Amino acid sequence: MSDNSGGNSARDVWVTGIGLISSLGEGLDAHWQALALDEPRVGSVDTEHFAPFPVLPMVPLQLDKQIPRKADQRQMEPWQRLGTYAAGLALADAGLAGDLDRLAHMDMIVAAGGGERDVVVDGQILAGLGGAENPDAFLNERLANDLRPTLFLAQLSNLLAGNISIVHKVTGSSRTFMGEELAGISAVEIAARRIRAGGQGEQFLVGAAYNAERKDMLLSLALGNTLWQGAVNSVWERANAGGGMVTGSLGVFLVLESRESAEARGKSGYARLGPVLSGRSRREPGQATAVARGQIDALRPELGDKPVGLLSGATGVAAATLEERSLLEALVAEGTVGPIRATQSLLGNSLEAAFPAQVALAALALSRKGFYRPADPTGLELEATDVPTQILATSWGFWRGEGMALLEAID
Amino acid sequence: MGKGKTRDHLGRPVVAVTGMGVVTSLGQGIDDNWSALTSGKSGIHRITRFPVDHLRTTIAGTVDFLFDEVPRSAVLTEKLAELAAEEAIARARIGTPGDFPGMLFMAVPPVELDWSVKRELYEGGDTTTADPYDRMIDSAMTLNSADAYEYALYACVAEKTADRFGTRGAPISLSTACASGATAIQLGVEAIRRGDTDAALCIGTDGSVQAESLIRFSLLSALSTNNEDPATASRPFSKNRDGFVMAEGAGALVLEDYDAAVARGAEILAVIRGVGEQADDFHRTRSKPDGSPVIGAMRQALGDAGIGLDEINYINAHGTSTPENDKMEALSLEAVFGEHVKSIPISSNKSMIGHTLTAAGAIEAVFSIQTIRSGVIPPTINQDVADPSVTLDVVPNVAREAPVSMVLSNSFGFGGQNACLVIAASPA
């Protein structure tokens, strides 16, 4: 579907705040340092607790800084803490933290999976079921006795948004989209469309969080044999060796705002968010490529003369990653696409948070007038030579969903 | 923007409803549901899907007539949506089978692996693996089942629904707790107003009554424990209400740009005139004591519709039958409508179908439209002991004939979700 982002207008969408936390660090400076300045490397990797799968855990956070009340912290599961923390960073970065008048009208779109299970309780029940005289009655009894009432709230997908309302006082509309990378793509897309339309919101808080340190999610992903085992390397290397993704903890929120609204309060943006395109296919061979090609073609009129830098959301899952690579090689050959960076090589996949993170990293690079360092021994990612004025952020979900956004420098 | 000329009071395209469908514990399809609802029949019954040993609540409005074996939650959720959407699309006579010319906005309950699946994985795993999750993970990778895998993913039900009906663009799976069904409609309305699409398929579906989901709500003391006579357990607004009754079902609406619908000769069933929403920052499960977010959501919906208070002639309540919700809803309605509220009939479908959770807002929108079209207001049943603090005309026990042209439909959910719809017979 087309997204007519128009030219330079009051209804332009600006990224005016970013909150980003991951295994690489907290905040924009830390991410710039790790991805653009330092020799590329993953942060700490946990190869022990979730073996055979490596996961990339969140750097330590001082939760009190963004979630001051311990009572609030206790009511949340880790993924909600990560999201609520990142949302606080984004609001502060946009100069909106504590601005109760504006927060009361701020609209929110959160992309979420589901809540975390109490794996200890699950494990005890599973171990006991086999020997129980009446397994169903045993299950009922144990669940009734062992589940914590508050856990249920942590398991509701919309309770990240609920916690952000409570902690940060964002109380306009509140929407939660569910389901892997595409939920994050749609969240950014619909927020942008609402801003461009006029009359459907001026300031949006959009984002997601993923806690990689959870076996319940690894179980779901293992059902599809989607996970990489072994040392963490680049997504391109993984795709060449059977494929698989590495999950990484990440929290990201963006403040998206109409240019009109930002300028009225004297705020500039990191970047202008141009068209955001979402698509889907059943992932039969060539289908995702066709969707992504259509997206590139839709964006062509907006692209400048120079090849555009691209942040790929490739996951390392073999079929999709190899297909995406072929497409990117063709786009480089024809001069449409310039330097490519696969952010998941270093950050891992954060599912619902993956695409908002791509948008955040694209906006960051545009604002710093630089690009990230290549991290790919297979030769697809080449050195960048020019200061980028446009960057494409893409995401091919690990099972479904293809998304693409164009970000542009403001000055 | 749409190509036609019909505009609302803010110059926006008008959003028509051209198709609708429903499944609840009362039956499949609008006709069966409507005859049951207007005769005051309850769909609440004793739970037979799973043993109820050790459970405080043993009743629910489950939909048990679709599968011979007990289905997984996501499978039932998908089936309910399919049936409601089929009815809605057939009624709208839009597109061709498998090719719906518009977007999909779908409210689905959060997905979790059913205990039946976990047990199977655990039992199929290596008994020497100490950690139960490690054991299930080993087993999962050996099993290599596309079906088990896909139904464990959060977007699965909407993806399969999009595949089935051939909707356009990326399907949106959404969850705003018990306001989800209304949120799906809001998203469709907003997309049509923006001109992103001429048509939208908006679905709320929920087939998630399982032992664990029931226990979770029980632990929050949210459920009725009036197990003896299931049909009388859900008593919204009455003094002896003691909690909601979990239930299942689906509601689907085909929304269209009004002019596009007229141009193709579609029957206009109703118009979504206004939508309103305001999040609550007070507490994860309780409303702000002054009701201000609920009041704000209702006022926004009325303002968005551009209508006066006296134009609403029926309110389809959220009315869950919990002490907290019904008190807050009544208080907020009084604040919005003042003394006039006493002259507006208000009823809760949940007295008969229970609380269909994720699906409720969509199902109740369908019933609101049917109320407009039939001129019959379904009652709030089980009104034997009036709550003196509730001064509303709840249409007690017996359906009432009355002309209805403008409905306010309320939906509220955990996590501070408040969404309201204004549904009308015609554009102006």
Greater model confidence, B80 or B110:
B80
In a domain, B11, yes or no: no
One-letter amino acid at A177 equals F
pLDDT grade, residue A148 (50/70/90)?
confident
Segments in A9-55 forming alpha helices (H): 28-32
Residues B28 and B94 in one domain: yes
Instruction: Tell me whether residue A46 is exposed, middle or buried, using C-beta atoms within 10 angstroms of its C-beta: 0 to 12, 13 to 18, 19 or more.
Output: middle
Beta strands in B178-248 (DSSP E): 199-206
Residue B196 included in any domain = yes
Q: Answer whether A153 sits within 8 Å of B121, measured CB to CB.
A: no
Structure tokens at B294: 């609920």
- As a residue count, chain A comes to 411
Give the A:B interface size as CB pairs under 8 Å: 242
pLDDT category of residue B3 using cuts at 50, 70 and 90? low
Cβ of A332: how many Cβ atoms within 10 Å? 17
On whether residue B8 sits in a domain, the answer given is no
B85-132: pLDDT as tens digits: 999 999 999 999 999 999 999 999 988 899 999 999 999 999 999 999
Q: Taking CA atoms, what residue in B is nearest to A49?
A: B134
Rounded Cα gap, residues B239 and B245, in angstroms: 16
* Minimal C-alpha gap between B368 and chain A (Å): 23
Whole-angstrom distance, CA of residue A262 vs CA of residue B328: 37
Q: Look up the domain containing B22 and give its range.
A: 16-111+153-424
Interface test with B, best of A177, A210, A217, A283 (most B CBs within 10 A): A177
**d(C-alpha A51, C-alpha A218), whole Å:** 10
Determine phi and psi for A175, rounding to 5 degrees: -125, 140
Q: Which residue among A1, A166, A176 places its CB closest to the CB of B169?
A: A1
Share of chain A above pLDDT 70, in %: 98
Comparing C-alpha atoms, which of A110, A337, A69, A92 is closest to residue A207? A110
pLDDT at B175 over 60: yes
In the set B156, B202, B355, B420, the catalytic residue is B355
| B136 and B177 co-located in one domain | no
- Look at the alpha carbons of B316, B320, B321, B327 in this order and tell me if their dihedral is positive or negative: negative
State the pLDDT confidence band at B428, using cuts at 50, 70 and 90: confident
- Residue B2's pLDDT is 46
Grade residue B1 by pLDDT with cuts at 50, 70 and 90: very low
Report if residue B78 sits inside a domain.
Answer: yes
**Looking at residue A6, what is its pLDDT?**
54
Element holding A339 (H helix, E strand): strand A337-342
Query: Tokens for B255?
Result: 């929304």
pLDDT, one tens digit per residue, over B386-401 is 999 999 999 999 999 9
> Between chains, do B219 and A152 touch, taking CB under 8 Å as contact?
yes
In this complex, which of B173, B212, B278 lies closest to A171 when CB atoms are compared?
A: B278
Q: Can you read off the two tokens belonging to residue A200?
A: 């459907």
Q: Are residues B127 and B96 in the same domain?
A: no
Question: Cα-flanking dihedrals φ and ψ of residue B254, to 5°?
Answer: -95, 115
CB contact under 8 A, A162 and B137: no
Residues of B in contact with A98 (CB under 8 A): none
* Shortest alpha-carbon distance between residue A112 and chain B (Å): 9
Which residue reads 């993806």 in tokens? B159
Chain B contact for A399, CB < 8 A? yes
**Residue numbers in A near B56 (CB within 8 A):** 144
* Contact status, residue B224 vs residue B57, Cβ threshold 8 Å: yes
A4 Cβ under 8 Å from any chain B Cβ: no
Q: pTM for this one?
A: 0.98
In a domain, B5, yes or no: no
What are the start-end ranges of the E strands in B129-216? Answer: 172-174, 199-206
**CA gap B125, B139 in Å, rounded:** 5
Radius of gyration of chain B (CA): 21
Alpha-carbon distance B39 to nearest alpha carbon in chain A (angstroms): 35
The mean pLDDT value for A4-29 works out to 90
For residues B390 and B245, state if they share a domain.
Answer: yes
Closest CA to B352 of B248, B235, B258, B268: B235
Q: Which of B97, B128, B150 is the last residue of a domain?
A: B150
Q: Residues 315-374, chain A: which have Cβ within 8 Å of B?
A: none
What is the C-alpha to C-alpha distance for residues B360 and B183, in angstroms, rounded to an integer? 11
Of residues A1, A178, A216, nearest to B155 (C-beta) = A178
Q: What is the pLDDT of residues B16-55, one digit of tens each?
A: 999 999 999 999 999 999 999 999 999 999 999 999 999 9
On whether the CB atoms of residues A260 and A382 are closer than 8 A, the answer is no
Quote helix, strand, coil % in chain A, to nearest 5.
40, 20, 40
In 3-state terms, what secondary structure has residue B427?
coil
Q: Do A180 and B154 touch (CB under 8 A)?
A: yes
A252 φ, ψ (degrees, to nearest 5):
-145, 130
Cα gap A80→A154, rounded to integer Å: 8
Of the partner residues B122, B149, B280, the one whose CB lies closest to the CB of residue A165: B280
List pLDDT tens digits, range A205-254: 999 999 999 999 999 999 999 999 999 999 999 999 999 999 999 999 99
Distances (CA, A) of A204 to A47, A192, B16, B29, B303: 37, 9, 28, 39, 21
Contact B157, B175 (CB under 8 A): no
Q: Compute the average pLDDT of residues B339-345.
A: 96
Q: What homologous superfamily is domain A13-115+156-408 in, according to CATH?
A: Thiolase/Chalcone synthase (3.40.47.10)
Chain B nearest CA to A14, separation (Å): 19
State how far residue B172 is from chain A, nearest Cα, in angstroms: 7
User: Into how many domains does chain B fold?
Assistant: 2
CA B268 to chain centroid, in Å, comes to: 22
C-alpha pair distances (Å), A162 with each of A23, A145, A171, A311, B286 = 25, 26, 9, 31, 11
- Kindly state the average pLDDT of the residues A186-207: 97
Q: Which residues from chain B sit within 8 angstroms of residue A223, using beta carbons?
A: 140-141, 143, 145, 148-149, 152
Does A136 contact B50 at a Cβ distance shorter than 8 Å?
A: yes
8 Å CB contact between B158 and B172: yes
- The H or E element containing residue B323 is helix B323-337
Tell me, yes or no, whether B42 lies in a domain: yes
Nearest-angstrom CA–CA distance, B308 and A112: 38
A279 CB neighbours in chain B (<8 A) are: 169-170
Task: State in Å, rounded, how far the first CA of chain B is from the last one.
Answer: 19
Helices (H), A12-134: 28-32, 70-74, 78-93, 100-103, 119-129
**Residue A155: what pLDDT?**
77
| Co-location of B197 and B183 in the same domain | yes
Tell me how close the Cα of B236 comes to any Cα of chain A, in angstroms. 24
List alpha helices for B151-207, DSSP H: 156-165, 180-194
Question: Helix or strand or coil: residue B271?
Answer: strand
- pLDDT, mean over chain B: 96
- Judged by a CB distance cut-off of 8 A, whether residue A283 touches chain B is no
What pLDDT is recorded for position B296? 97
Q: Catalytic annotation on B355?
A: yes
Q: Report the chain A residue with the minimal C-alpha distance to residue B172.
A: A177
A130 → chain B, closest CA residue: B123
Mean of all residue pLDDT scores within chain A? 96
Closest-CA residue of B relative to A225 is B141
* Structure confidence at residue A2 (pLDDT): 54
Which residue of chain B is at minimal alpha-carbon distance from A165? B281
State the alpha helices, DSSP H only, in A169-315.
180-197, 215-223, 235-240, 259-264, 287-299
Catalytic residue among B9, B45, B202, B318: B318
Q: Quick check: A301 contacting B, CB < 8 Å? A: no
| pLDDT tens, residue by residue, A245-300 | 999 999 999 999 999 999 999 999 999 999 999 999 999 999 999 999 999 999 99
Q: Which of A258, A254, A303, A296 is nearest to A408 (CA)?
A: A303
Q: What confidence tier does A411 reach under pLDDT thresholds 50, 70, 90?
A: confident
* Active-site entry in B178, B202, B283, B340: B178
What is the domain partition of chain A in residue ranges?
A: 13-115+156-408, 119-149
Q: What is the CATH number of the domain that holds B310?
A: 3.40.47.10
Please give the Cα distance from B229 to B361 (Å, whole number).
Answer: 26
pLDDT for A205: 98
| Rounded Cα gap, residues B404 and B419, in angstroms | 21
Do B279 and B401 share a domain, yes or no? yes
Dig out the tokens for B356 from the structure. 């269909």
- At residue A3, does pLDDT exceed 70? no
- Residues A353-373 have pLDDT tens digits of 999 999 999 999 999 999 999
Residue B325 included in any domain: yes
Would residue B10 count as lying in a domain?
Answer: no
**Does one domain contain both B57 and B125?**
no
| Residues B244 and B158 occupy one common structural domain | yes
Q: What is the mean pLDDT of residues A128-151?
A: 91
Query: What is the enclosing helix (H) or strand (E) of A209?
Result: strand A203-210
CB contact under 8 Å between B282 and A166, yes or no, is yes
User: Does the distance separating the beta carbons of B175 and A156 come in below 8 Å?
Assistant: yes
Alpha helices, H only, B68-127 = 73-92, 115-123
A300 token code pair: 């062509």
Check if B9 is active-site.
Answer: no
Are A178 and B141 inside 8 Å of each other by CB? no
CA distance linking residue A140 with residue A125, whole number of Å: 10
Q: Is A162 in the B-facing interface, judged by CB distances under 8 Å?
A: yes
Give the whole-angstrom CA distance, residue A1 versus residue B367: 32
Nearest residue to A136 via CA among A125, A147, A146: A125
- B140 and B66, same structural domain? no
pLDDT in tens, A41-61: 999 999 999 999 999 999 999
Query: Chain A closest CA to B305's CA: distance in Å?
Result: 14
Nearest chain A residue to B103 by CA: give it. Answer: A1
pLDDT exceeds cutoff 80 at A387: yes
Q: Respond yes or no on whether ipTM tops 0.85.
A: yes
- pLDDT mean over A168-181: 97
A172 touches chain B (CB under 8 A): yes
Same domain for B348 and B411, yes or no, is yes
Residues B388 and B273 reside in one and the same domain: yes
Q: Which helix (H) or strand (E) holds B255?
A: strand B249-257
> Chain B: nearest CA to A224, how far in angstroms?
5
Enumerate residues 25 to 64 of chain A having a beta carbon within 8 A of any beta carbon in chain B.
none
CA distance A120 to B325: 34
Check whether residue B327 and residue B384 sit in a common domain: yes
